[in-house]
Structure 1
Amino acid sequence: MTRDNILRAGVLVWLTAVWVALWGQISPANVLAGFMVGLVIMVTLPLPRIPVRGRLRLLPLIRLVAASVYYALESSLQLAWFALRPGPPPVSGVLRVRFAFRSDLVLVLCTNLLNLIPGTMVLEIDRQQCVVYVHVIDIGSEKAVASFYRTIRHIERLLIAGLENRATPLPPPDTPEEVRS
Structure 2
Amino acid sequence: MTGDPAARNGAGRNDGSPHPAPGRGGRRRDQAIALGWLVLIWLLLWGDLSWGNLLGGLVVGVAVLVFFPLPPVTFGGRLRLGALLVLVATFAAELVSASVRVAGLAVRPGCRPRSAIVAVRLRVRTDLNLALTAEVISLVPGTLILEVDRDQGVLYVHVFDVRDPEDLAESRNRILTVERRIVRAIGSADEVRQLQTESVDRRSHP
Gaps of 5+ in 1: 174-181
**Match for 2:74 among 48, 51, 56?**
51
The equivalent of 1:179 in structure 2 is none
What percent identity do the matched residue pairs reach?
33
**Match for 1:91 among 114, 118, 139?**
114
**Match for 1:157 among 180, 185, 193?**
180
Q: Contact (CA 8 Å) 1:79, 1:118: kept in 2 or not?
A: yes
Q: Contact (CA 8 Å) 1:53, 1:103: kept in 2 or not?
A: no
Paired residues for 1:10-25 under 5 Å: 24-25=49-50
Provide closer, same or farther for how the CA distance between residues 34 and 107 of structure 1 changes in structure 2, counting only shifts above 3 A: same
2 CA distance for matches of 1:87 and 1:39? 45
1:112 matched to 2:147: no
2 CA distance for matches of 1:36 and 1:159? 29
Higher fraction of helix: 2
Q: TM-score, normalised by structure 1?
A: 0.70
Q: Contact (CA 8 Å) 2:43, 2:54: kept in 1 or not?
A: no
The equivalent of 2:90 in structure 1 is 67
Q: TM-score, normalised by structure 2?
A: 0.63
Could you report, residue by residue, the CA deviation over 1:67-106 in whole angstroms, capped at 9, with x for unpaired residues?
2221121111111111122333112111121110131111
The one-letter code matched in structure 2 to 1:112 is E
2 CA distance for matches of 1:58 and 1:163? 9
1 CA distance for matches of 2:85 and 2:170? 22
2 CA distance for matches of 1:111 and 1:130? 11
The one-letter code matched in structure 2 to 1:116 is L
Q: Contact (CA 8 Å) 1:114, 1:121: kept in 2 or not?
A: yes
Q: Contact (CA 8 Å) 2:30, 2:74: kept in 1 or not?
A: no
Q: Contact (CA 8 Å) 1:59, 1:162: kept in 2 or not?
A: yes
The equivalent of 2:101 in structure 1 is 78
Q: Over aligned residue pairs, what C-alpha RMSD do you find?
A: 3.6
The one-letter code matched in structure 2 to 1:163 is I
Could you report, residue by residue, the CA deviation over 1:142-177 in whole angstroms, capped at 9, with x for unpaired residues?
44334323321221111111122123325849xxxx
Q: Contact (CA 8 Å) 1:64, 1:159: kept in 2 or not?
A: yes
The one-letter code matched in structure 1 to 2:85 is I
